[in-house]
Amino acid sequence: MTREELFLAVGAGLAVLGAARLLLTRDLLTRVLALNVASGGVLMILVALALRGGGPDGPDPVLHALVLTGIVITVSVTGFAIGLVRRIEGDLTEGGRR
């Protein structure tokens, strides 16, 4: 098994496990974490495709730039989602009153 195939297999496994957990749980914080695991798997698949698609000059720089952008977006969305979860769970514990 080559390095690219290993990255593809691990990335696909992470994406499937994260998506399955996302669909099978009711806890909002666990859903956010599962979404992070799934997005990490997708980013790993993109890295593997960049390694595979690269020619003699090395990996594909466009896919690497896409992965870096995906990491930044994942961090931003995670922070926003955790803020929403805190607000939703805070409203639920207070009975919806402010």
Domain residue ranges in the chain: 3-93
Q: Yes or no: say if 47 and 14 are a contact pair by the CB < 8 Å rule.
A: no
Q: How far is it, in rounded angstroms, from Cα 14 to Cα 10?
A: 6
CATH of domain 3-93: 1.10.287.3510
In this prediction the pTM is: 0.84
| Residue predicted with more confidence, 74 or 53 | 74
Confidence of residue 2 (pLDDT cuts 50, 70, 90): confident
Q: What is the pLDDT of residues 37-61, one digit of tens each?
A: 999 999 999 999 888 777 777 888 8
Q: Taking 80 as the threshold, does the pLDDT of residue 95 lie above it?
A: no
Q: Yes or no: say if 37 and 17 are a contact pair by the CB < 8 Å rule.
A: yes
Tokens 């957990």 sit on residue: 21
